[in-house]
Amino acid sequence: MKNPKIWLSSPHMGGEELENVKEAFAENWVAPAGPAIHEFEAALAGYFNVNGAAALSSGTGALHLALINVGVKRGDEVICQSMTFAASANPITYLGAKPIFVDSEKDTWNIDPEIVREVIIKKIASGKKPKAILVVHLYGMPAKMTELENISMEFDIPIIEDAAEAAGSTYLGKKCGSFGWLGVISFNGNKIITTSGGGALLSNDWHSISQAKFLATQAKDNAPHYQHSHIGYNYRLSNICAAIGIGQMKVLDKRVEQRRANHAFYLENLSDLPGIKFLKEPEGHFSNRWLTAITVEPSLSNGVTRERIRLTLDAENIESRPLWKPLHLQPVFKYAEYYGTGVSEELFQKGLCLPSGSNLSQADLHRIVKVVREVFEGVDGVGKVLPIGKVG
Ligand SMILES: *Cc1c(COP(=O)(O)O)cnc(C)c1O
């Protein structure tokens, strides 16, 4: 019989979610409105220490509203981290604006502040100042926020923080998602906590949050009939999903601990293997370790590659995944501008995300480590001895 499937990152309920959902049913709040939404928003604002939170149907929708809020319009340019999920940049194009992709730096794998600065200077000189800087905290690792905030202030360009993967991460003790003019969180099923699908927009500017809620509910003006003076969207979270979210917020810190424990386990049990490296937390950066990622350097690993590890895990019914393919390499963005030195391209070549769910058992973790070590010992997933250095 095949070993049971180990997922990369699967939902992990805390216990009270189902009760909250039953309560919503009992009161018939089965709608994108209701008391659970307000309670969830209050919990979010409290946890992230911001003045306002809007519970929305996805992180992607939250990014779309954030870009509208900072005034991005057709023909505008937005600086965006290249190494990220496509959902970071897609909303830029919904508005007819253009992403300008920027490479990562090596310490956090996030947008390189020095390149951002050069690009802004170049763009201003050519008469077109970028409208926003879209920063991502990849896999939960906080970006270099001090440098980025200084650039934002110097050139008066707002930061939109894509903290979809970074709920519970902090930089200099402050929560990721609370730095930018607007911050975005995702509650998709694979994230550190989930509402089955959903997202949130966070800000210290109360007016921006109330404007986002207005646009997210079809932009209805104050009138007895349906009156509209703006184009609206249908981006509000369901009260049912918010009921799940209330339960999930109570276990968020525990989930961070559990994901960090996975990372510590991998570090302890794999870092002696030749050519394998883990991303360290630079001083002041606290990662939720949403996903633990390794890089594999084939010139040091006797020829073992990221891909061979991935395929061997897959043969053992264990899901792992290459790092995000940089967006400037994606066919859909092939005409977009890009500035960089190849850091994200190399990470994409060599990087692998290991199963990282907070619900992994010790037995699961041991099983994963055993398979990875066997690849290095020259034994593949089905027990065949492979000539080291020749395969992969
Ligand atoms: C998941 C994710 C999003 C999108 O969030 P959804 O809630 O799935 O729409 C955006 N950016 C990053 C970096 C993500 O990982």
Is residue 237 within 8 A of residue 55, CB to CB? The reply is: yes
User: Which of 9, 109, 165, 237 gets mutated to test ligand 1 (max ligand atoms within 8 A of its CB)?
Assistant: 165
What is the pLDDT at residue 180? 86
- The helix or strand, by DSSP H or E, that contains position 185, with its residue range, turns out to be strand 182-186
> CB of 161 closer than 6 A to ligand 1?
no
Residues 6+ apart with CB under 8 A from 152: 133, 158, 159
Average pLDDT, consecutive stretches of 10 residues, N- to C-terminus, the chain (392 residues): 89 97 97 96 98 98 98 98 98 98 98 98 98 98 98 98 98 97 97 98 97 96 94 98 98 98 98 97 98 96 94 97 98 97 98 98 98 84 46 40
Rounded CA separation 300/278 (Å): 15
What is the pLDDT at residue 378? 79
Rounded CA separation 323/80 (Å): 17
User: Which of 57, 65, 85, 291 gets mutated to test ligand 1 (max ligand atoms within 8 A of its CB)?
Assistant: 85
> CB of 81 closer than 6 A to ligand 1?
no
Please give the number of the atom of ligand 1 that sits closest to the Cα of 63: 10
Q: At what angle do helices 206-216 and 59-69 cross, to 10 degrees?
A: 120
Please give the number of the atom of ligand 1 that sits closest to the Cα of 58: 7
> CB of 84 closer than 6 A to ligand 1?
yes
Residue nearest to atom 8 of ligand 1 (CA): 188
Q: How far does the chain reach from its first CA to its final CA, in angstroms? A: 27
> CB of 164 closer than 6 A to ligand 1?
yes
What is the pLDDT at residue 58? 98
> CB of 59 closer than 6 A to ligand 1?
yes
Which strands make up the sheet holding 132-136, listed edge to edge?
52-56, 199-203, 182-186, 159-162, 132-136, 77-81, 98-102, 337-339
Question: Of 168, 162, 204, 166, which is closest to residue 184 (Cα–Cα)?
Answer: 162
Please give the number of the atom of ligand 1 that sits closest to the Cα of 87: 10
In the three-class reduction of DSSP (H, G, I as helix; E, B as strand; rest coil), residue 218 is classed as coil
Rounded CA separation 40/53 (Å): 9
Rounded CA separation 63/216 (Å): 12
Rounded CA separation 39/22 (Å): 16
In the three-class reduction of DSSP (H, G, I as helix; E, B as strand; rest coil), residue 87 is classed as helix
CA of 122 to the centre of ligand 1 (A): 30
Question: Of 345, 372, 253, 314, which is closest to residue 8 (Cα–Cα)?
Answer: 314
- The helix or strand, by DSSP H or E, that contains position 133, with its residue range, turns out to be strand 132-136
Residue nearest to atom 14 of ligand 1 (CA): 164
What is the pLDDT at residue 322? 98
Give the pairing type, strands 285-286 and 170-171. antiparallel
> CB of 290 closer than 6 A to ligand 1?
no
> CB of 188 closer than 6 A to ligand 1?
yes
Residues 6+ apart with CB under 8 A from 232: 214, 215, 216, 217, 218, 219, 220
CA of 261 to the centre of ligand 1 (A): 23
Amino acid at 337: E
